[in-house]
Chains A and B, each alone.
Chain A
Amino acid sequence: MDQLIIAGRKFKSRLLVGTGKFASNQAMVAAMEHSGSNIVTVALRRVDIDNPDDSLLSHIDPERYFLLPNTSGARDAEEAVRLAHLARAAGCEPWIKLEVTPDPYYLLPDPIETLKAAEILVKDGFVVLPYMPADPVLARHLEEAGTATVMPLGAPIGTNQGVRTRDLIAIIIEQANIPVIVDAGLGAPSHAAEAMEMGAAAVLVNTALADTPDPALMGQAFRKGVEAGREAYLAGLGAQRQQAEASSPLTGFLRNNR
């Protein structure tokens, strides 16, 4: 069985699902179920003490899903480290999707603060999965710092644009000795399939599932996209070439040779 292995832990599905922005908890759960995902991400925020809403966790079956907290909202390494420790105190395993995004317009990850936070969190005993710009040199540095994966962005968070960083992600995949998970910007199952065909170990999708009238059906579509891309990668894609190469025999035509 071709499983995703992160820090020695095995997962059946290569599709990670975010839980943000769904119209309802029911829609979120339906998308998660149909996606076949085993790993779901969550964020940490202040409780609205004057108006506490119901707990997200009451909707997520811990037997079925591995909860991966993120450090979204962190603007620098210090805030990210603080959030990671809060998540661990909430009873999660010490796994953290590290996100440091100081710029609210493009939400691009800060490479310097991300590396800084990764070094601290690895020392603190966390399994660190860093969201990062699609920069092969940074990927090397993060791997050397001891992160469990690297998570280069396909396009800015929530943009549904696809694997715009394709050539750089190809270099990251070529050089990495840890799983490469393409995160952010994947808006269609074909985008997920593309990343998987390139040899990504997994993809993470949120907005594309939340931002559709039918999250369950879209979850299923992404599951198939990820599986198709993975199988194509394992099978080995045929080489691209400039000149046509006939698929049908070039002999036995119903005409006489001149």
Chain B
Amino acid sequence: MKLIINGKTKEYQESLTVQQLLQKLNLSPDRVVVELNRQILSPDIHVKTQLKSEDTIELVQFVGGG
């Protein structure tokens, strides 16, 4: 499965839910916001959202800023 995550192409052997992807990336769901194909996903549907090849995912978090 090919995913475009934050502009980078990543290959995964197995199929993944959003929750499983975050676990693979060592990201806690309470510190990142997930956008899947330009739609914001609320954390409660991470577990049931199945990713498919060519999905575009944005993972964003708060950083220092003025």
Contact = CB atoms under 8 A, between A and B. Distances in A.
Interface of A: 18-22, 28, 41-50, 52, 55-57, 67, 69-70, 72, 85-87, 89-91, 157-158, 184, 204, 206-207
Interface string B3-43: 00111101000000000000001111011110100001010
B33 A72 contact: no
Interface of B: 5-8, 10, 25-28, 30-33, 35, 40, 42, 58-66
A20 B64 contact: yes
Contacts of B33: 44, 86-87, 89-90
B31 A57 contact: yes
A21 B64 contact: yes
Contacts of B31: 55, 57
Contacts of A70: 65-66
B50 to A, nearest CB: 20
Given A49-B5, A86-B33, A89-B33, A57 B60 contact: no
Which 6 A-B residue pairings sit nearest by Cβ, starting from the closest? Answer: A43-B65, A18-B66, A206-B66, A19-B64, A20-B64, A46-B6
The residue among B5, B30, B31 with the most chain A CB atoms within 10 A of its own CB is B31
A52 B7 contact: no
Given A86-B60, A89-B42, A47 B66 contact: no
B61 A47 contact: yes
Given A49-B6, A49-B25, A85 B64 contact: no
A44 B60 contact: yes
A152 B54 CA distance: 43
A19 to B, nearest CB: 4
Contacts of A69: 62
Task: From A49, A89, A206, name the one whose CB has the most chain B CB atoms within 10 angstroms.
Answer: A49
A45 B60 contact: yes
Contacts of B32: 47
Nearest to B34: A89
A55 B27 CA distance: 10
Contact of B65 (A18, A52, A57): A18
B64 A44 contact: no
Contact of B35 (A19, A21, A86): A86
Contacts of A18: 64-66
Contacts of A158: 66
A42 B65 contact: yes
Nearest to A158: B66
B49 to A, nearest CB: 14
